[in-house]
């Protein structure tokens, strides 16, 4: 494990900008010295250890920051958690002069222990790897994609209504018994305490527009789950001019010459044309065909595009609500949706959002996510990253920046030892602290003292069955 004794240099720069943004809203309030030290160390430790665990952070500091104190500060420090992410976003927007972008929506799951009961938003989730089920948390995320950087700008936990889940379970059981719908319990209405993913997604976009009304949103991108009228109408209530691009199922009906036919049937009549499109800066050849047609489930006319990449057998069907966009521009815009998958990968691999992020209660869970997202923002102010972006050069990956942060943390530790009055004594003291941090635990693999003599022939059985 890499050591991290104090705040990394680029984290200090980030916190200074964060304090400036807080002061713009309330000149009388700034992060206190204790808050800045704690926040700086935690953000540094997240990037160095890829963890949101206080025990891991304490070990990485060689015991300099006690686990109990880190946990106490997390729960008791009066940090403006509900506003901290907004201030952090403003730091990045101001740093890079961002005035426009595209919003991307998607959800992400994280598996938890089957015995966990105190975490916020726990539910049964489908395990794609095994095909079974596991306990976990589901989180909806909003990403802002711009011509310079891509940053997370909003999140919300999703939890299904327990009463609705019970009804669904009972309804499924009664269906298997062939009980008619008239004799089965009616579906309960979902309460406001448990909003659906569609409602959460719309609220995230609405919240971003309210907090950052100076940012021009070119389009809102979402996957097939959000390809329906309710989501589209919800976004249009926020801003009628917003372009909403999503996918739609192949069996969805469209009206053509007064007849209703499926999307798949429609595009069998109109085979796609091979074209070269720019997919996230790379020229690729795709097969596509687009038209403006009335989609029955939406009750209005949409741009519908059948799209197939090289090597694919089946078309995917992309929809767009603004009819004035060109087909090729819609395809280019929708390709940006993949960036949220890249973000999820970076987030779980390098920025602490993984199985050890187990802060209890709703406030603990939300504050933990805020810290993790802030670490992603802080990386954008790393000198190696910001200098490249300012010069118009390709930005570097989160993984390579985190490796750089680990090296910086190691060199900082070495520097602290060298600059001490008695380097040898400082080294020995640190080595002693490190050795005490890791307890030697009994192993179940090595069977010391196990009697191997029991694995042998038995005399009377040998004679009987010789």
Give the pLDDT score at 355. Answer: 61
430-464 residue pLDDT tens? 777 767 666 777 877 777 878 888 888 888 888 88
Inter-residue contact 160 to 123 (CB < 8 Å): yes
**Which residues fall within 8 angstroms of residue 297, CB to CB, at 6 or more apart?**
228, 229, 252, 253
- Structural domain includes residue 167: no
Q: Which of 56-65, 77-86, 93-102, 456-465 has the highest mean pLDDT?
A: 93-102
Give the pLDDT score at 446. Answer: 79
Give the pLDDT score at 18. Answer: 94
Of 24-33, 159-168, 184-193, 428-437, least confident by mean pLDDT is 428-437
DSSP 107: E
Q: pLDDT class for 154, splitting at 50, 70, 90? A: very high
pLDDT at 191 over 80: no
Percent of the chain surpassing pLDDT 90: 38
DSSP string, 183-226: GSPPPPPPPTTS--HHHHHHHHHHHHHHHTTTSEEEEEE--GGG
- Structural domain includes residue 45: yes
Inter-residue contact 24 to 421 (CB < 8 Å): no
Give the global pTM.
0.86
Q: pLDDT class for 385, splitting at 50, 70, 90? A: very high
Inter-residue contact 246 to 226 (CB < 8 Å): yes
Better pLDDT: 281 or 265: 265
Give the pLDDT score at 436. Answer: 67
**Number of domain units in the chain:** 1
Of 4-8, 303-307, 357-361, 409-413, least confident by mean pLDDT is 357-361
Phi, psi dihedrals of residue 395, rounded to the nearest 5°: -70, 160
- Structural domain includes residue 433: yes
Give the pLDDT score at 192. Answer: 73
Give the pLDDT score at 208. Answer: 95
pLDDT at 32 over 70: yes
Give the pLDDT score at 221. Answer: 95
Chain mean position to CA 361: 19
**Domain with 421 in it:** 1-79+391-466
Q: pLDDT class for 292, splitting at 50, 70, 90? A: very high
Task: Please measure the distance between the N-terminal and C-terminal CA atoms of the chain and give it in whole angstroms.
Answer: 58
Give the pLDDT score at 103. Answer: 96
- Structural domain includes residue 328: no
Phi, psi dihedrals of residue 284, rounded to the nearest 5°: -135, 150
323-380 residue pLDDT tens? 999 999 999 999 999 999 999 999 988 888 776 556 777 788 888 899 999 999 999 9
- Structural domain includes residue 56: yes
- Structural domain includes residue 84: no
- Structural domain includes residue 206: no
Percent of the chain surpassing pLDDT 70: 93
- Structural domain includes residue 169: no
Give the pLDDT score at 321. Answer: 93
Better pLDDT: 69 or 356: 69
Better pLDDT: 409 or 134: 409
Query: In the beta sheet, which residues pair with residue 18?
Result: none
Return the number of other C-beta atoms located less than 10 Å from residue 392's C-beta: 7
pLDDT at 102 over 90: yes
What is the average pLDDT score of the chain? Answer: 86
Residue among 8, 89, 36, 110 at smallest CA distance from 376: 89
């Amino acid at each position: 494990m890499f050591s991290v004794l104090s705040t990394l240099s680029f984290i200090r720069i980030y916190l200074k900008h964060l304090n400036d943004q807080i002061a713009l809203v309330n000149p009388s309030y700034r992060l206190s010295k204790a808050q800045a030290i704690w926040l700086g160390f935690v953000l540094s430790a997240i990037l160095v250890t890829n963890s949101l665990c206080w025990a891991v952070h304490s070990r990485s500091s060689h015991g300099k920051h006690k686990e109990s104190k880190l946990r106490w500060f997390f729960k008791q420090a009066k940090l403006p958690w509900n506003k901290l992410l907004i201030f952090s976003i403003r730091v990045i927007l101001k740093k890079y002069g961002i005035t426009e972008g595209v919003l991307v929506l998607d959800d992400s799951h994280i598996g938890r222990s089957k015995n966990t009961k105190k975490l916020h938003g726990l539910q049964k989730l489908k395990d794609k790897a095994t095909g079974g089920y596991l306990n976990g948390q589901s989180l909806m995320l909003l990403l802002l994609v711009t011509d310079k950087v891509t940053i997370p700008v909003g999140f919300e936990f999703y939890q299904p209504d327990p009463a609705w889940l019970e009804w669904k379970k009972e309804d499924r059981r009664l269906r298997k018994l062939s009980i008619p719908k008239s004799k089965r319990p009616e579906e309960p209405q979902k309460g406001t305490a448990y909003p659906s993913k569609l409602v959460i997604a719309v609220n995230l976009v609405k919240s971003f527009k309210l907090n950052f009304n100076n940012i021009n949103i070119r389009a809102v991108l979402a996957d097939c789950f959000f390809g329906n009228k309710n989501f589209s109408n919800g976004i249009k209530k926020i801003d009628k001019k917003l372009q909403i691009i999503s996918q739609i199922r192949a069996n969805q009906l469209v009206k053509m010459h007064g007849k209703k036919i499926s999307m798949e049937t429609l595009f069998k009549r109109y085979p796609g044309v091979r074209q070269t499109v720019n997919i996230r800066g790379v020229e690729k050849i795709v097969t596509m065909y687009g038209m403006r047609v009335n989609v029955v489930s939406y009750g209005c006319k949409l741009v519908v595009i059948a799209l197939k990449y090289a090597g694919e057998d089946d078309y995917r069907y992309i929809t767009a609500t603004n009819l004035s966009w060109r087909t090729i521009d819609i395809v280019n815009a929708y390709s940006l949706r993949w960036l949220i998958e890249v973000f999820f990968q970076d987030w779980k691999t390098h920025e602490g959002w993984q199985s050890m992020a187990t802060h209890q209660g709703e406030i603990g869970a939300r504050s933990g996510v805020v810290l993790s997202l802030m670490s992603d923002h802080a990386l954008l102010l790393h000198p190696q990253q910001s200098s490249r972006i300012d010069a118009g050069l390709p930005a570097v990956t989160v993984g390579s920046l985190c490796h750089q942060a680990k090296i910086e943390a190691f060199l900082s530790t070495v520097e602290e030892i060298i600059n001490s009055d008695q380097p040898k004594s400082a080294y020995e003291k640190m080595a002693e602290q490190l050795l005490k941090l890791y307890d030697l635990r009994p192993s179940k693999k090595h069977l010391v003292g196990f009697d191997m003599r029991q694995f042998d022939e038995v005399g009377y059985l040998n004679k009987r069955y010789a």
